[in-house]
Amino acid sequence: MNMTKIVRTTADLFYPFCLVFGLYVVLHGHLTPGGGFQGGAVMATGAALLLVSRRYEDITRSLRQNTMKLCEAVGLLMFITAGLAGLFAGGAFLYNGLAGAGGLFGEPVAFGANPGGLNTAGLIPLLNIAVGIEVLGGLTVILLYMLSGVKETEP
């Protein structure tokens, strides 16, 4: 159902901040608390904010179900592709060949406390991004489906 203008404006205002914070949680998953699942859930919270403030027909114009389904499938395929790349590079599924090798996400890390660099951890940030995309798509699709099953009443 359509909420008041105050709720709608606040939801619009907070939606980009939710996305940016979720992206931060996903990208820094190997340095700070967080990771793909948590960051994806935060991003889906932004979508939920939009969903509760508007009518279902209005929301599907900007938040398309097919796009979110595509996000979900692409995330899972990215995960499997990263695993298969490890199979071809190092001989094991999900082999972390990028860690400590230089190049993309390849800086080695010394043991013990350190300030942490973003360009570390090899395969882990890629898997974090893949899982983040998948969780964002999956939770948003679940919310859209559930909202499509609710009969809407206008006050």
Interface residues toward another protein, by CB under 8 A:
29-33, 35-37, 41, 72-73, 75-76, 79-80, 83, 93-94, 96, 99-100, 106-116, 120-124, 127-128, 131, 134-135, 138-139, 141-142, 145-146, 148-151
Cα dihedral 25, 26, 31, 33 sign: positive
Q: Are 6 and 91 in contact (CB under 8 A)?
A: no
Nearest to another protein of 7, 147 (CB atom): 147
The torsion of the CA quartet 153, 44, 46, 130, rounded to 10 degrees, works out to: -150
Min separation Cβ 134 and another protein, Å = 6
Q: Are 1 and 153 in contact (CB under 8 A)?
A: yes
Min separation Cβ 2 and another protein, Å = 22
Q: Crossing angle of helices 123-148/5-27, nearest 10°?
A: 150
Nearest to another protein of 13, 77 (CB atom): 77
Nearest to another protein of 25, 50 (CB atom): 25
Nearest to another protein of 49, 133 (CB atom): 133
